[in-house]
Amino acid sequence: MTRPGAPLRAGDELTLDIADLAFGGRGVGRASGFVVFVEGALPGESVRARVQRVKSGYAEAACEHVLTSSPDRTTPPCRHYGECGGCDLQHLSPRAQAGAKRNQVVSLLGRLAGLADPPVTEAVTAGPPTEYRFRMDFDWGTGPGGHPVLGLHRAGRPAEILPIDQCLLMPEPANAIRKFAAERALRLGLGTWDRKRRRGLLRRLGIQMARTTGETLATLETGRGDPPALGGLARDLVRAFPRVVGVVRREYDRFDRFVGESILCGRDHLFEEIDGDRLKVPAGAFFQPNAAGAGRLREVVLQALDPRAEESILELYCGIGFFTLAAARRSRQMVGLDVSRDAVAAARDNAARAGLGNARFLCRDVGEALPGLLQEAGRDALLIDPPRTGLPRSAVLAIARAAVPRVVYVSCDPATLARDIRLFAEAGGLRLRSLTPLDLFPQTHHVECVARFDRA
C-alpha cells in the first residue's frame, strides 16, 4: 500500500474516496497531490484501486475492490460489460446516470467555456435504458485460431474485436441478424479485412431498425473486390429475416477512402415514423441514435427554437429533415443545409410527403455556404445540429457576427459545445440563455445537449 504523500507509481495500490464522476465514466479521487481517475468507481464510494498509468498531474487506476458501495451502484445487465468498449456506466443506476451527466455538463462548461454558473436545466430522460438504439455497427476481425469474428471493440484494446453474444442496446432481432451474418459469412468463405496488411473484404455490418414501421436495413462495409458469395450473403439475410427491406454495400479502398455504394438486395433506405412524419432514412445518412427518444428530443428543440409563423429559419446540418419538418409547420420558411447528397434528397422527399412547400434544402458545405446564407435578408433564427466535432471555427465567427436574433445548438459532445460557447462569447454578440441535457445514450457516458443563445 502506498504511503500518504509518497509519489505515485504504476502498480501502486491505493485506498481512495471517490468524490465525483468525470466525463468518460471514471470516478475521481485524490492521492499524493494527484487527481486519480478510477475505472469502475462511483461518487460516494471508498475503493481500493491499483495505479495503471501516471501522467503529468494525474494518474489512472482500476478499481480492485469496493470498500464502501454507493446506493446508486447496480448490477450491470450485460454479460459483456467490462470487456466490451461500448458501455461504461452500466454499474450506475439509470436515474443516477442522468444526474451525473448533468453534473458533467456543468463541469465542462466551467472548465472549457469559463461559465461559473451556467443555466443548465435538469437532465431529460426519454425511452427505456436498453434496446433504444436506431443503429448499431459491428466490426469484423480475426479471432482465436485465425477465425473471423463479428462484434464490438474490446475495452482498453480497441484494435481487438470482442465476439458478442447479445448487445442490449438494440432489440433482439438485431442480435439474431448479427449472429446469422457472422455464421453465414464464415460458411460462404468470405474473408475479413486485415487492418495490418490492408487487405480483405468484410469490414463492418451496420443494422438500422425502425420502431414504428418495423423495417430493418443492413449495410455491409467492405474492401474492394466482387465475390459472388457477397450477393449470396445479402439474399440469405433477406430470406431469413423478412423485416430486412434491403442490404447495401459501402466499398472502401485499402487507404480507407470511400469508393462507392451499391444495393446488393432490396432497397437502400427504410422508413421510420416520428409524430406522424413518415421519414425516409438512406443507409448512409445520419438519423438520431435513440429511436425511442427521438420524438422527445424534437420537442425540446422546438421549445428552445420557438418558431413563429412570420419567421424565416436557417438550419445547418439538417440531415433528412428530422427537425426541419416540425419547424416548417410553425414558420414562414425553413432553409436546410447539408453536405450529404443522400440526406438532402431524402429531406426533399420527406418534406414533399408531408406537404410542406415552405421547406427548401441545399446540398452545400456549411463552412463555404454559411456566410452568404447569413447575409440573406430576414433570418430570424438559426438551428444547428453539427457532428461530434462541433462547428468549424469560421462558422462560429460568422454566426457570432451575424444579426440572427437567436440560435439553437444541438450537440452530442458537451466538450466541443463548451468550446464553441467560449468562441461565441469571445467573438461577442451571443449569450447562452439555457442548456438542456438529454440522456439519450443510457449505459454510456455520452449525453445530448440543446443550447439556446440570444443576441446580447
d(CA 177, CA 244): 9
Name beta bridge partners: 161. 153
Question: What's residue 266's pLDDT?
Answer: 97
Q: Residue range 68-94: average pLDDT?
A: 94
Which pLDDT band, with edges at 50, 70 and 90, does 5 fall under?
Answer: low
Percent of the chain having pLDDT more than 90? 83
Question: What's residue 454's pLDDT?
Answer: 95
Cβ atoms within 10 A of the Cβ of 223, count? Answer: 20
d(CA 62, CA 51): 7
- Residues involved in catalysis: 412
Q: Which residue has the cell 455556404?
A: 369
Burial of 374 (0-12, 13-18, 19+ CB in 10 A): middle
Sign of CA pseudo-dihedral 107, 36, 39, 151: positive
Q: Under CATH, domain 13-68 is a member of which superfamily?
A: Nucleic acid-binding proteins (2.40.50.140)
Question: What's residue 34's pLDDT?
Answer: 83
Residue 366 phi, psi (nearest 5):
-60, -45
> What DSSP state is assigned to residue 125?
E
Question: What's residue 143's pLDDT?
Answer: 77
Question: What's residue 326's pLDDT?
Answer: 97
Cβ atoms within 10 A of the Cβ of 22, count? Answer: 17
Cα radius of gyration (the chain): 24
Q: pLDDT at residue 196 above 90? A: no
Question: What's residue 122's pLDDT?
Answer: 97
pLDDT digits (tens, 9 = 90+) for 160-187: 999 999 999 999 999 999 999 999 999 9
d(CA 401, CA 396): 9
Residues of the chain with CATH 3.40.50.150: 106-127+289-455
- DSSP run (H or E) holding 13: strand 13-17
Question: What's residue 1's pLDDT?
Answer: 52
Question: What's residue 197's pLDDT?
Answer: 85
pLDDT digits (tens, 9 = 90+) for 81-93: 999 999 999 999 9
The DSSP result for 29-54, as a single string, is EEETTEEEEEET--TT-EEEEEEEEE
Residue 429 phi, psi (nearest 5):
105, -30
pLDDT digits (tens, 9 = 90+) for 241-279: 999 999 999 999 999 999 999 999 999 999 999 999 999
d(CA 321, CA 336): 8
pLDDT digits (tens, 9 = 90+) for 353-412: 999 999 999 999 998 889 888 887 678 999 999 999 999 998 998 998 888 999 999 999
Q: pLDDT at residue 4 above 70? A: no
Q: What is the dihedral of CA 238, 240, 244, 250, to 10 degrees?
A: -50
d(CA 31, CA 36): 7
pLDDT digits (tens, 9 = 90+) for 211-233: 999 999 999 999 998 899 999 99
Which one has a higher pLDDT value, 24 or 36? Answer: 36
Question: What's residue 2's pLDDT?
Answer: 54
The terminus-to-terminus CA distance of the chain in angstroms comes to 55
As a CATH number, domain 106-127+289-455 is 3.40.50.150
Percent of the chain having pLDDT more than 70? 98
> Under a CB-based contact definition with an 8 Å cutoff, are residues 335 and 373 in contact?
yes
Decide which of 3.90.650.10, 2.40.50.1070, 1.20.1630.10, 2.60.40.10 is the CATH code for 135-272.
Answer: 2.40.50.1070
> Under a CB-based contact definition with an 8 Å cutoff, are residues 299 and 124 in contact?
no
Three-class SS state of 163: strand
Residues of the chain with CATH 2.40.50.140: 13-68
Q: pLDDT at residue 294 above 80? A: yes
Angle at 42 between CA 39 and CA 45, to 5 degrees: 115
pLDDT averaged over the chain? 93
Give me the amino acid identity at 249.
R
Q: Residue range 189-194: average pLDDT?
A: 90
